[in-house]
Amino acid sequence: MHILIIGGGAAGMSAASKARRNDKNAEITVVESGNFVSYAQCGIPYYLSGKVSDPMNLIHYPVEEFRVKRNINVKTETYVKSVDTTEHTVTLHDNTAIHYDRLIIATGTRAKRLDFSIPDRVHSVRTLDEAIQIKRDLSGHQMGILGDGVLGLELASEFAEKDWEVTLFSKHERILPRVDPAVIIHMSKDLSKKIRIIHFNSINFKRGDSDKPTIVADRDEYCMDQLMVAIGTLPNTEFLKNSKIDMDAEGRIIVNERMETSVENVYAAGDCAISINRIDGQLQWNPLAQVANKMGRVAGSNASGKRMDFKGSVGTTLVKILDYEVGYCGFSEIEAKKRGFDPESKTVSGWSRAKYYSGGSEIIVKIVYDKTTLRLLGGEICSKDNGAWRLNALETAVYSGMTTEELFYNDLGYTPPFGPVWDPIIICASLSLRD
């Protein structure tokens, strides 16, 4: 049996490795358009800022690990032109065809780009190859960031800490709009002291002096040495446009819990695929590394004959902005209402450690739950200390379908260096029981 995997990122290599563990005799081939496989895409902002000096440190496993030790045929710098699911063939960029018995599509996403371009000065990044080239091009001291989501804020924070003069351009009334402004109020204030934040209604771009990118936000002009564009991603599925594989309106491949597509013996996993939300079982796109790895493992196992079911995800997201740990999971109140719930929320400001123990920080916790059932639907966290583990604790509660009462009685560990005896999470849950 020949298992062919398109894409050597998190989902693709996870699928290949699981398939090999299940079937020692199968022929397994991975085709990857870039020069690298199995690397830490989420580490790219830290490489660009200089916090990570060597891009090779972002590679989890070198290609030879897969080729030699795992007997997986990895073809880098290999592009797929089309897929013929009737003939079970994939056509490559050089017009050669590869036959498959099982196909796994794990092509991920690409960064959205502007129509405006200045070589060496206007950048969009998604892959390690792109990051290495951008790093070579970086010069000057004025950095513009277009986009106020997770990647945009990561880049802004990292470059500001490396003494760049950073200007962040946001089309929203406030940054990181997915998170309640009350949760990130202190982070937002501190960030505005470190970087210039420009909120705009309309934006245009032009070449300025010395070919520098100039951003025209409403009527004001801002000349930058460099411009990083972080305005979202698009699925790498354009090569499937003439296939029989079902996709949504955005071009994301629709899969079931086994990562099966609408075509027999064809699977999809990772950021190019849309799967189910754990809370309500409806389709939801969660382009996140931890989700891609699990989807890949499920796809690889099913393609190699051993059933696994993906249980869904809740979109858990963590980001470091300056010294703050910011995170969210599940549904916001707006999302919950759209999906048919009757949401309520509670927000608590507490302390990350026992107040008498040094090193603590204020922590803001928010939970979203259904009024009728008290089932937890989502959570948000922001703190300079011990915020990340609390977000993961909330995620486990949301993922498990806990009610706020069950969360209140949850036996969180206590010791002064890690939290107060009445943890902010527990206090937040208790408030929901007073209604």
Q: CA-CA distance, 194 to 197, in Å (whole number)?
A: 9
Q: How many residues are given for the chain?
A: 435
Active-site annotation holder among 42, 272, 382, 428: 42
Contact (Cβ atoms closer than 8 angstroms) between residue 402 and residue 374:
no
Could you tell me which residues come within 8 angstroms of residue 115 by beta carbon, excluding any fewer than 6 positions away? none
Distance from C-alpha of 226 to C-alpha of 120, rounded to nearest angstrom:
8
Nearest CA to 40 among 32, 52, 50? 52
Beta carbons of 308 and 258 less than 8 angstroms apart: yes
d(CA 325, CA 314): 19
Q: How far, in Å, CA of 264 to CA of 280, rounded?
A: 26
Through-space distance between the first and last CA atoms of the chain, rounded to whole angstroms: 59
Q: Which residues pair with 318 in a beta bridge?
A: 327
Here the tokens at position 79 are: 């592009």
Q: What are phi and psi of 246, to 5 degrees?
A: -70, 135
Has 42 been annotated as catalytic? yes
Under DSSP, the state recorded for 181 is T
Q: Determine the Cα–Cα distance for residues 46 and 66; give it in Å rounded to an integer.
A: 26
* DSSP labels, 229-295: E-S-EEES-GGGTTSS--B-TTSPEE--TT-B-SSTTEEE-GGGEEEEBTTT--EE----HHHHHHH
Contact indicator for 82, 91 with CB cutoff of 8 Å: yes
Q: Give the span between the Cα atoms of 70 and 189, in whole angstroms.
A: 50
Within 8 A by CB and 6+ apart from 190, the residues are: 322, 324
Among the listed residues 75, 72, 61, 68, the one whose alpha carbon sits nearest the alpha carbon of residue 24: 72
DSSP string, 399-417: HTT-BHHHHHT------TT
Residues taking part in catalysis: 42
